[in-house]
Amino acid sequence: MERRRTIIRRSVIGALVGVCLILFTVYFREGSDGPAHGTQRLAGTVLAPLESVGSRIVEPFTGAWDWVTGLFDARGENERLKDENAALRAQVLAATDQAAEVARLRALLRITEDVPGGYKPVVASIIGRSPINWYSRARIDAGTNDGVVMNSPVVAASAPGASLVGVVTSASGGSSIVTFITDSSTRVGATVDGSGGALGVLRPTVGGQLRLDNVPRDFRVRDGAVVRTGGFVADLRLPSVFPRGIPIGLVAGAGSQPVDTFLTIQVTPFADVRELSSVAVLTPQSAAAKRRAEG
């Protein structure tokens, strides 16, 4: 039975092939007015409307397919752009961090040019802060093993190059405690540039600001003048642990009432101790510097 079907199928295919060959032969041999050409024109006339209708039916589906594929392409492109944007943002942040670190290191290097005679700078990082008062104290990762001793002045990189921020009040082998000049217990003898020798005692006020007291009102103190360490303690007789001439800040305002004997001088420190990440401890080297540290 199966063999018979195969024979019939082959016979039909052979007959169809023979008919096709006859039709092609007649088509190419006859003229343009022949029956085969007429049949072609008739088929074209009949099928043309169907083709037009078919294209109109298929066109919306084709457009929808193009829209869907375009949407997936757009989403893929959007994800790619997001990934590229994230990568670029990470590169920008890394470059910004590197630039900030380079600027910090350059500023710390400038400190070595401003170190008072008889002292050696030891650069240290802040590793802990007061949980109560940001303007009070901090712990640094340098100690007696690095040459740090009690009463070593502490400076930070700022606009002038190095400015006073505190003093070492406790030192152990690998770390030390720095008490800032903005702590309520700190007093610094100071002088004002261009004032004709005005001397006073610098005390903290609020918000990290300072006030220079005991400056007679007949001294001329202008806004923006630089305030520096004076090299003396509060009673103006004994030497201070801070050597003379270290910048501290700028005069933010100076004035007095007619009945006042002294000026009221507001001082803004060069360095904001809340923002510090690194400092330099001025370790005493000379005999005079060591005597200052001993008090």
- 3-class secondary structure, 274: helix
Q: Which of 114-118, 150-154, 180-184 has the lowest mean pLDDT?
A: 114-118
Over residues 98-112, the mean pLDDT reads 60
Q: Give me the helix-helix angle, 35-111 and 2-29, nearest 10°.
A: 100
H/E run at residue 156: strand 153-156
Domains of the chain, first to last: 119-295 (2.40.10.340)
* Residue 71 structure tokens: 């949407």
Task: Give percent above pLDDT 70 in the chain.
Answer: 64
> 246 pLDDT exceeds 90?
yes
Tell me the per-residue pLDDT of 135-171, one tens digit each, with 9 for 90 and over: 999 999 999 999 999 999 999 988 767 899 999 999 9
Residue tagged 């800040």 (tokens): 249
Task: Give percent above pLDDT 90 in the chain.
Answer: 42
Q: Which of 54-58, 97-101, 103-107, 140-144 has the lowest mean pLDDT?
A: 54-58
Q: How many CB atoms lie within 10 A of CB 81?
A: 10
Q: Which of 202-206, 238-242, 266-270, 278-282 has the lowest mean pLDDT?
A: 238-242
Nearby residues of 26 by Cβ (< 8 Å), 6 or more positions away: 34, 36
Over residues 227-247, the mean pLDDT reads 82
Q: What is the pLDDT of residue 65?
A: 64
> 88 pLDDT exceeds 60?
yes
> With the C-alpha atoms ordered 184, 188, 193, 194, is the resulting torsion angle positive or negative?
positive
> 81 pLDDT exceeds 90?
no
* Residue 207 structure tokens: 């918000």
Query: How far apart, in Å, are the Cα atoms of 46 and each of 170, 211, 272?
Result: 106, 104, 91
> 286 pLDDT exceeds 90?
yes
Whether the model clears a pTM of 0.85, i.e. scores above it, the answer is: no
Q: What is the CA radius of gyration of the chain?
A: 45
Query: How far apart, in Å, are the Cα atoms of 48 and each of 40, 43, 87, 232, 276?
Result: 12, 8, 56, 109, 84
The single-letter code of the amino acid at 4 is R
More confident call, 109 vs 247:
247
Q: What is the pLDDT of residue 86?
A: 72
Mean pLDDT, rounded, of the chain:
79
In angstroms, rounded to a whole number, what is the distance separating the alpha carbons of residues 242 and 190?
A: 10
Tell me the per-residue pLDDT of 2-37, one tens digit each, with 9 for 90 and over: 566 666 666 656 565 555 555 545 555 555 565 555
Q: What is the pLDDT of residue 96?
A: 58
Q: How many CB atoms lie within 10 A of CB 246?
A: 23
Over residues 206-232, the mean pLDDT reads 91
